[in-house]
Amino acid sequence: MRSFKRWLDHSLTAQAVLISVLLVGVAALVRRNEHPVWWVVQGGIYSAVVITFLALQRRRIGRAVGTDARGVSELNRKLRHGEVPSGPEERAAMRRLVAEQSAQIERGARWLPYWLGVMGLISVGALALGVASGSLTAPLVLAVGVFAFCCWILWMRRRSLDRFRFMLSALRSDNEPVR
């Protein structure tokens, strides 16, 4: 499983195949009355858009960090596992990666209350429609799902910031001279 996860992390082609399969499945669930060829076409189009976005994002982060996409994915793996890089070039790249990703999270933080508010309005609106129509099952499931998703987003954000703080402190403490 570990080698599969590493292959999926490094290979844009593997990510494209996985995204295509997932999107074809979603298209099949959402558009049951359409021909299966349309499911594949829609999944392919949406996958192309997503993969283009991922490739551009990898290139931008690679330029900011000063390494290629494979190096960025390896640094991200080390960051997730708490492994401090040993070489000076890799340490500098890790510092730049942590700075780039923490700045990205901080830029998104100003929109987080608005996003959470919109998600809350969607849940409340669905519950109001459920009360008006007399069926509360689907709106309650939606509200619980939205609440769980928002909690997961906040947890992942906090966890990422904790990892960034740990890595920066580990990189700083290793640079200090021993007395």
What's the pLDDT at 175? 58
Q: What is the pLDDT of residues 103-114, one digit of tens each?
A: 999 999 999 999
What's the pLDDT at 70? 80
Q: Phi and psi at residue 108, in whole multiples of 5°?
A: -75, -15
What's the pLDDT at 72? 87
Query: Which contiguous run of DSSP H or E holds residue 8?
Result: helix 2-10
What's the pLDDT at 49? 92
Distance in angstroms (rounded) separating the CA atoms of residues 84 and 171:
7
What's the pLDDT at 114? 95
Q: Phi and psi at residue 31, in whole multiples of 5°?
A: -115, 70
Query: What are the residue ranges in the chain where pLDDT is below 70?
Result: 174-179
What's the pLDDT at 69? 78
